[in-house]
Amino acid sequence: MPEISEETWILITQYATRVVGVLVLLFVGWLVAGWAGRLVWRGCERAKLDPTLGKFFAKMARWAILIFVVLACLGVFGVNTTSFAAVLAAAGLAVGLALQGSLSNFASGVMLLIFRPFKVGDVVTISGCTGKVDEIELFTTRIDTADNRRLILPNSAVFGTTIENITFHSKRRVEVAVGVEYSADIDKTRAVLEKAAKGVLGILEDPAPQVLLSQLGASSVDWSVRVWCATSDFWTVKEAATRAVKMALDEAGIGIPFPQMDVHLDGAVKQAT
C-alpha cells in the first residue's frame, strides 16, 4: 500500500475541515432560515396583513437566507461567487422582462392586500364589472356577479382603475325619480310624496326622507324622492319606495304623464285623389 505523503494529508485535512464546516454552515443556515421565516410570519400577523401576503414574505425571507448560505459555501471551495451572482442577476433581468405583465399583476396584488380598498364579501364595480368579491390573490381578483357568473380580473387592471365599493358603508340612499303632470298642484304633490316616503318599510329615520323638486321637464314636473336604508336592504327598499310613490299619486289623482308631441298642420289640407 503506497504511503501517503505529508502534503497529501494536509490537503485531505484541509478539505475535510472545509466539508465539515460547510455541512455545519448549511445546517445552521437551514435553522436560521426557518427561524427568520417564522419571525416574518408572526410580524405580518401582528401587523394584520393578509395571510397570503404574510406567507409570501416569510418564504422570501427564508429563501434569501438559504441562497446567501449556499453562495457562502461555494466561496469556501474557491468558487467565484461574483460571476455566479452576475449570472443570477442577468437571469433575473431576463425573467423579469419576460414576465413584466405578471410582475405588474403581482405588484398590484401586493398593493391591494396592503391598502385594502375592498375585502372579500364586498360588492364592487371594477372596470365596468359589478359583483361580490370572492377572493383576492397575488395575481388576480375573483368576483361573482348577481347572476352567478365568475369573473377573474388581473390585479393590474383592478388597481389601475376606479374602484367603486358599493357595500363599504353600512347605509345607502335610495332615490326614486318621478314626473307628474303640469296641472298638478306643487304643494299637494310634495305632501303626497312626503307621506309616501315616510310610510316605506325598512327606511332609516336619520337621515330623514327628502322630497326635492328636480326640474320642469318637457312633459312633466320632475320630482326626486330620497330615503335612506341599510345597505343590505337597498333593493328591497327601492322597490317598496317606487311602489309607494306610484300608489300614493294614483290615490291622490295626480297623473304621471308620458312624453307626447302635438302636431299642428298650417294651411289647407289637400286630399289626394
CATH classification at residue 151: 2.30.30.60
- Shared domain for 210 and 180, answered yes or no, is yes
Structural domain contains residue 51: yes
Average pLDDT over residues 187-197: 96
- Shared domain for 151 and 188, answered yes or no, is no
Other beta carbons within 10 angstroms of residue 181's beta carbon come to 14
User: Does 2 have pLDDT greater than 70?
Assistant: no
User: Does 33 have pLDDT greater than 80?
Assistant: yes
What's the CA gap between 83 and 106, in Å, rounded? 29
Q: The domain that contains 85 carries what CATH number? A: 1.10.287.1260
**pLDDT given at position 126:** 92
Structural domain contains residue 263: no
Considering only 61-75, 88-102, 203-217, which range has the smallest mean pLDDT? 88-102
Provide, rounded to the nearest whole percent, the portion of the chain with pLDDT above 70: 79
What's the CA gap between 222 and 4, in Å, rounded? 108
Cα 271 to Cα 98, 169, 268, distances in angstroms = 78, 67, 9
Structural domain contains residue 262: no
Cα 4 to Cα 7, 10, 110, distances in angstroms = 8, 10, 61
Considering only 15-19, 80-84, 98-102, 181-185, which range has the smallest mean pLDDT? 98-102
- Shared domain for 92 and 126, answered yes or no, is no
- Shared domain for 94 and 128, answered yes or no, is no
Structural domain contains residue 105: no
Residue pLDDT, tens place only, 238-271? 999 999 999 999 999 999 887 766 777 766 555 5
What's the CA gap between 240 and 246, in Å, rounded? 10
Sheet with 221-230: strands ordered across: 171-180, 221-230, 210-216
Structural domain contains residue 260: no
78 or 189, higher pLDDT: 189
User: Does 210 have pLDDT greater than 90?
Assistant: yes
- Domain residue limits at 124: 117-165
**pLDDT given at position 99:** 47
Contact 45, 55 (CB under 8 A): no
- Shared domain for 84 and 160, answered yes or no, is no
Q: The domain that contains 243 carries what CATH number? A: 3.30.70.100
Residue holding cell 322597490? 239
Structural domain contains residue 241: yes
- Shared domain for 12 and 92, answered yes or no, is yes
What's the CA gap between 195 and 206, in Å, rounded? 16
- Shared domain for 130 and 81, answered yes or no, is no
**pLDDT, averaged across the chain:** 83
- 202 sits in the region (left: phi over 0; alpha: psi -120 to 50; else beta) called left
User: Does 191 have pLDDT greater than 80?
Assistant: yes
Number of domains in the chain: 3
- Shared domain for 157 and 194, answered yes or no, is no
- Shared domain for 126 and 152, answered yes or no, is yes
User: Does 95 have pLDDT greater than 60?
Assistant: no
- Shared domain for 154 and 183, answered yes or no, is no
Structural domain contains residue 106: no
Which of the four pLDDT bands, split at 50, 70 and 90, describes residue 1? very low
**pLDDT given at position 250:** 95
- Shared domain for 122 and 200, answered yes or no, is no
- Shared domain for 152 and 175, answered yes or no, is no
What's the CA gap between 157 and 104, in Å, rounded? 10
268 or 148, higher pLDDT: 148
Which of the four pLDDT bands, split at 50, 70 and 90, describes residue 232? very high
Average pLDDT over residues 166-189: 95
User: Does 92 have pLDDT greater than 80?
Assistant: no
Nearest-5° angle of CA 231, CA 233, CA 237?
A: 120
Confirm whether pTM is higher than 0.75: no
Structural domain contains residue 13: yes
137 or 227, higher pLDDT: 227
